[in-house]
Structure 1
Amino acid sequence: MTSLFTPAPLSLTTVLIANRGEIALRILRTVHALGLTAIAVHTDEDVDAPHVAAADRAVRLDSYLDVDGLIAAARAAGADALHPGYGFLSERPALARACEEAGIAFVGPSARAIETMGDKIAARAAVTARGVPVVPGLSAPGLDDAVLVAGAAEVGFPLLVKPAAGGGGKGMHVVESADALPAALAAARREAVGAFGDDTLFLERYVAAPRHLEVQILADAHGRALHLGERECSLQRRHQKVIEEAPSPDLTADQRERLGALALEVARSVDYVGAGTVEFLLDAASPDEPYFLEMNTRLQVEHAVTEEVTGTDLVAAQLRIADGQRLAARQEDVQVRGHALEARVYAEDPAAGFLPTGGTVLSLALPQSARVDHALATGMDVTSSYDPMLAKVITHAGTREAALTALDRALEQTHILGVRTNASFLRALLALPETRAGRVDTGLIERSLDRLAPASPGAAVWAVAAAVRWQEIAAARRSGIWQAPTGWRLGAQAPLVVRFAADGEAVEVALTGTPERAVAEVRSGSTAALSATAEHVVELHPGAVTVDGHRVPMTWATTAQAVWLGLPGGDHELAFHVPARRTGPGAAAPTLASPMPGIVTAVLAEGGSAVTAGDPVLVVEAMKMEHTLTAPSDGTVRLHVRRGDRVVRGQELAQVVTEETPLAAPSLQEVHP
């Protein structure tokens, strides 16, 4: 790692890490590398979490958002520094202020800098005063709807309604015409109050499909500031970054120099101290004039790509700055070498609109050829309580092409069985010609969803899953063939039949031979990826499978509901077919199943009330996302949950019963086999 400081011992001795998961472990590694003591904090849910086990000591909290609790924990542990990580309280001025009052070094900027940059209206005013261009718009404190409506014509349509507080796309609305503006303002105020407790709004000109660039800066308490180059963060969906890289693949030397200079002016506008990220929008119509978007007054999720290309440990730099040390390097000393990319592996289902998922990690395989920042362990539960990011896979190579190839290979080797992830989606995104060529913008993913849709499992995948199931059954009945269902009978062997669910219908696989070398006939299947009849010979080996003579690496795990396969083409959750629940002769009551694990936050229809198809019935919230379940048909609601209940993905939350299908006791049929 490159040192930007004159080598000197730290006066800090003990760092409390006010975060969890992969970022807590990332900070902890550097704390230990510097010879310091690391203190973890945890809630009851995280008492056995990896970051707790890795720390020197740990302190229990009621909540990661409890400022007083964190200060008390730091005092109790004898910590002389507190690192906030990212998320949670990292951009709350109250935490920085509380650390200052307690005499604890806050590993971040001043409360004043956080406060200014946390208010987008104040931030625009501060940077404009330093000559930094911002997206044209209408912004001032306390603008009411009448003023915003009156000023909209000058901004121009389409425009963007934005909350002054918060981020992550919440409360943002694209407005195409003046007629649509009043309703958008009302919705944005409601959402902003709910998310941030502040309904202050402003307007910006809408820049369609811009590029999103950001610059990493470091500033010490003695007036010296440096930037460490830019990152390209344009590959996003719903304002959430997916793949980042450094440096940007498509900037001229002059554009790169201007971007860095503007970022340092932003830092100077608030006398910034610490590590920070200045974000810009680049309009294709004026690529030489970047617009200031915001400043993140903390470490960024994607900081790893900057570390890889500059050889700088950013957490170590944060700690040295918090210790009062001076930056010794000059701007020309900062060198960018090669290219780095990062892919965020999320617990989400791209095929279901990127809804959050969850579950238990049944089997875990991560690449050895790449840097992987994570806090995963086999047997851990991935819940809906926190952000859905599970891991960051980072590659670094001499060229962008080599780094892209390495990242694709690393994702191919990433298997988190038991939790649906976006790993296959990420590989498809990397394979897009636009991505390979570096022609990216924030709208690329939305425009390319049809090209990024996951393929249905082929017949060979169903055959392998059925063979895994047969081997499991065989292992469970070693005490004798008469103690469990078998394919044996007098005369010829009967096939063992395994039925899987595919788009609401059954795929049937008939197995003959032996569990060690099965002949699997896919006898039915309604999906386009399956032929009416397909036969494969499957042999299972430790860590691999041979299909029709071709051996490929594979990991697998099973549950009572599904077989999980980790193949080079991606992870597959192959659920067993469950016959429909019947409520009357030949009829099944339409059900509302939870699309994600989470909490029922609202019940919008009373039990026993009449609803029309499309009426909202329940709201489920998970990992910062709400999903409204609507009535699938006309009928009467039968509720199975209450507000506040925690639910799992696929759980039946309600039924809609019609007069033709009166509610009756369910006929439960055993999953076959």
Structure 2
Amino acid sequence: MPEMFDTVLVANRGEIAIRVARTLRDLGIRSVAVRADDDPSPHPAHFDEVVSLGAGALRDTYLSIEKIIEAARASGAQAIHPGYGFLSENAAFAQACADAGVVFIGPPASAIETMGDKISARHAVESRGVATVPGIAEPGLDDAALIAGAERVGFPVLIKPAAGGGGKGMYRVDDAAGLPSSLAAARREATSSFGDDTLFIERFVTSPRHIEVQVLADAHGTVIHLGERECSLQRRHQKVIEEAPSPLLTEAQRAAIGQAAVETARSVGYVGAGTVEFIVAGDRPDEPFFMEMNTRLQVEHPVTEMVTGVDLVEQQLRIAAGERLAIAQDDVTLSGHAIEARIYAEDPSAGFLPTGGTVLAIDWPYGDDVRVDAGVEQGGEVGSSYDPMIAKVIAHGATRGQALERLRDALAETSIFGVVTNRGFLRALLDEPSVRAGELDTGFIDREGERIAAARIPSDALAAAAADLGQALPMRLGAWQPDGWRIGGAVGRRATFRDGDGTARVQALGERTTVHRADGTVDELATPVEPWLVRTAEGTWVRTAEGDWLVETPPRTRRGRADAEPSLASPMPGTVVAAHVADGDRVAEGQAVVSVEAMKMEHVLRAPVAGTVHLHARVGEQVARGQELATVTPEEASA
């Protein structure tokens, strides 16, 4: 029997580093963390030793192969677990580990290289009889060749980076007119995320469902699968809700897609834990098309662990140590159903733009059938330098319906104050009839997300903020109007708060509170007692079952210049990654002016009117939320 490692370094941060450390501790293995000096992640507290990577850009810290290898040498680590993201699918890193005599807990560099290039991956799996989506996929295709190929494939098409994953640089294009600008944006994102702007094009599958299969392969030729996960609820190709097993597949279809995943792993001599992703038409689940293979642990791996009882990190460690798989295919059984929700630092009501800030208070759910993998703690900072996902909440049940209810309850018990998150959106999403029925597709959130996210601040949150405002009267003088008497009786106390694009007026009288909305609707409810809230300079954070709400009073009206020029302000903290025009250029209404990137998301700012543009930020500049990046002098004013 090969010997297990006694020291393992984890080349990652946040919740995945903490999750890997948990299994290392359970196995009695000494754990070593790496940390950028300016990283607010709490993961170092969960390790036996921490090695500094210094401060600076990602390329100088978590993406520095030399620093990671040196940290392993200095700490005496025999192996490196890469987590996911960063260097986890970097063939050069896997090879550097081998050259340094350190075990890379993952597949061989050759498998990473083949599967990391989506074009070579297609050719590899096709050789094993695995079907791929029709498209044009050859190395070195320029824009002209891709445009011509798209015409042959037929619209709509999907532009995909050959070196990428995670939805970055992927664009759906419905007609030829949209191709040039989408290709330019895809190349820019691919270069930024992967250092390679090679693209290819696939036919866009109508009503697609995203189904992936977890595989395990040892170095002795055994390859098995652990069932599938449904990941169809995603936004801009980023997964939001994942579950296992898929509500779509029959047992026969499950066995067939599992075998296709096994053949995919065999096509590259795979070793370790990996995930094979398929696109499946909702009306043809018996015809899965291979999309890509993720040669690492997946973010959504907990749902597989909960229905199989298999610790995937432990299996990664044992395989990397040279052990044979102790699990045969016939040993794999799926028990019940598990669903995971990703909590992101983003504002659904503002187009899901990234947010950030200081975590003022935090409260996680708990229970035998609930699991939380979190990467933030109270007092921590959520910035724009890293991925916006800050936690995962996972629930298990005997049935899919029971798992859904337990996840809804767990999200209701969750609270994060100080950072706007998508928690309320997630709960509303789980209440959608089609989601509850398992009628999913990858475009659902893109179609319905704005409607689902458009919920007003709940009346109980407004009432709680009003009650808090009354208690804080010395601090808020002028915002809360004291009791008064009029002919006909007392008017009670009143306050006005922001409510979406308008305002809501709250009136408290005795034990009753009335909320008057701008659209004329009126809600009456009992005045809350001891609500869960945190008071800040910006307003009051209030927890309700529907979400965490920052309830603010409207800003005082300020006089401005009558001739103020239309301004383009950054909608989020981030980096200016592109200037689409030059200073002084004439622009048309709606024309792209600058692009800002934060937390791996790019946002294009467009001219609000036609006129002359004046740029106030440079490409590469770090900008704050609300910072003015450009102004446009309208044509009339220019004349």
Q: Is 1:622 the counterpart of 2:612 in the alignment? A: no
Distance 1:504 1:638, change over 3 A: farther
Alpha-carbon offset, residue 426 of structure 1:
1.2
Structure-1 residue corresponding to 2:374: 374
- Distance in 2 (alpha carbons) for counterparts of 1:511 and 1:190: 54
User: Does the 8 Å contact 1:465/1:565 carry over to 2?
Assistant: yes
Structure-2 residue corresponding to 1:61: 53
User: Does the 8 Å contact 2:219/2:319 carry over to 1?
Assistant: yes
SS in 1 for 2:387: coil
Q: Is 1:438 the counterpart of 2:438 in the alignment? A: yes
Given candidates 337, 340, 353, the residue that maps to 2:338 is 340
Given candidates 83, 86, 106, the residue that maps to 2:84 is 86
Distance 1:497 1:127, change over 3 A: same
- Distance in 2 (alpha carbons) for counterparts of 1:435 and 1:246: 14
- Distance in 2 (alpha carbons) for counterparts of 1:658 and 1:161: 35
Alpha-carbon offset, residue 357 of structure 1:
1.2
**Cα offsets for 1:544-581 (capped at 9, x unmatched):** 4xxxxxxxxxx211221121111122211112211243
- Distance in 1 (alpha carbons) for counterparts of 2:484 and 2:283: 78
User: Does the 8 Å contact 2:456/2:500 carry over to 1?
Assistant: no
- Distance in 2 (alpha carbons) for counterparts of 1:209 and 1:426: 21
**Cα offsets for 1:117-139 (capped at 9, x unmatched):** 00011111111111111112222
Q: How does 1:213-228 map to 2 (within 5 A)?
A: 213-228=211-226
User: Does the 8 Å contact 1:358/1:649 carry over to 2?
Assistant: no
Structure-2 residue corresponding to 1:169: 167
- Distance in 1 (alpha carbons) for counterparts of 2:616 and 2:492: 39
Which AA in structure 1 matches 2:425? F
Given candidates 554, 561, 579, the residue that maps to 2:556 is 579
Alpha-carbon offset, residue 197 of structure 1:
3.0
Alpha-carbon offset, residue 192 of structure 1:
3.3
Q: Is 1:35 the counterpart of 2:28 in the alignment? A: yes
**Cα offsets for 1:247-300 (capped at 9, x unmatched):** 111211211111111111111111111000011111235321211111000000
Distance 1:285 1:536, change over 3 A: closer
SS in 1 for 2:396: strand
Q: Is 1:538 the counterpart of 2:530 in the alignment? A: no
Q: How does 1:369-518 map to 2 (within 5 A)?
A: 369=367, 370-449=370-449, 451-473=451-473, 498-509=495-506
Which AA in structure 1 matches 2:320? A
Distance 1:467 1:606, change over 3 A: farther
- Aligned residue pairs total 627
**Cα offsets for 1:382-418 (capped at 9, x unmatched):** 1111111111111111111111111111111111111
Farther off after superposition, 647-656 or 217-226 = 647-656
Alpha-carbon offset, residue 146 of structure 1:
5.0
Alpha-carbon offset, residue 458 of structure 1:
4.4
**Cα offsets for 1:185-234 (capped at 9, x unmatched):** 55544543444333333232221221111111111111111111111111
- Distance in 1 (alpha carbons) for counterparts of 2:612 and 2:183: 35
- TM-score under structure 1 length normalisation: 0.85
Given candidates 546, 556, 560, the residue that maps to 2:533 is 556
Distance 1:155 1:19, change over 3 A: same
User: Does the 8 Å contact 1:582/1:588 carry over to 2?
Assistant: no
Given candidates 95, 106, 109, the residue that maps to 1:108 is 106
Identity %: 55
Which AA in structure 2 matches 1:620? V
User: Does the 8 Å contact 1:99/1:106 carry over to 2?
Assistant: yes
Farther off after superposition, 284-293 or 185-194 = 185-194
SS in 2 for 1:448: helix
Given candidates 328, 331, 347, the residue that maps to 2:329 is 331
Structure-1 residue corresponding to 2:299: 301
Distance 1:323 1:447, change over 3 A: same
- TM-score under structure 2 length normalisation: 0.89
Alpha-carbon offset, residue 597 of structure 1:
2.5
- Distance in 1 (alpha carbons) for counterparts of 2:276 and 2:174: 28
User: Does the 8 Å contact 1:226/1:330 carry over to 2?
Assistant: yes
Structure 1 spans left out of the alignment, 5+ residues: 1-7, 478-482, 545-554, 662-673
Structure-2 residue corresponding to 1:596: 572
Q: Which has the larger radius of gyration?
A: 1
**Cα offsets for 1:469-506 (capped at 9, x unmatched):** 232345x69xxxxx999978999999766442234544
Which AA in structure 1 matches 2:389? M
Farther off after superposition, 86-95 or 199-208 = 199-208
SS in 1 for 2:595: strand
Which AA in structure 1 matches 2:468? V
Alpha-carbon offset, residue 176 of structure 1:
3.8
User: Does the 8 Å contact 1:130/1:265 carry over to 2?
Assistant: yes
**Cα offsets for 1:116-169 (capped at 9, x unmatched):** 000011111111111111112222223345544554454333333322111233
Distance 1:410 1:565, change over 3 A: same
Given candidates 282, 285, 288, the residue that maps to 1:284 is 282
Which AA in structure 2 matches 1:397? G
Which AA in structure 2 matches 1:114? I
Alpha-carbon offset, residue 638 of structure 1:
8.0
- Distance in 2 (alpha carbons) for counterparts of 1:108 and 1:323: 11
Distance 1:605 1:279, change over 3 A: closer
Structure-2 residue corresponding to 1:199: 197
Which AA in structure 2 matches 1:15? V
- Distance in 2 (alpha carbons) for counterparts of 1:602 and 1:182: 16
- Distance in 2 (alpha carbons) for counterparts of 1:415 and 1:55: 26
Which AA in structure 1 matches 2:355? T
- Distance in 1 (alpha carbons) for counterparts of 2:471 and 2:632: 40
User: Does the 8 Å contact 1:359/1:381 carry over to 2?
Assistant: yes
RMSD over aligned Cα atoms: 3.3
Q: Is 1:11 the counterpart of 2:21 in the alignment? A: no
User: Does the 8 Å contact 2:2/2:323 carry over to 1?
Assistant: no
- Distance in 1 (alpha carbons) for counterparts of 2:141 and 2:503: 57
Alpha-carbon offset, residue 653 of structure 1:
5.5
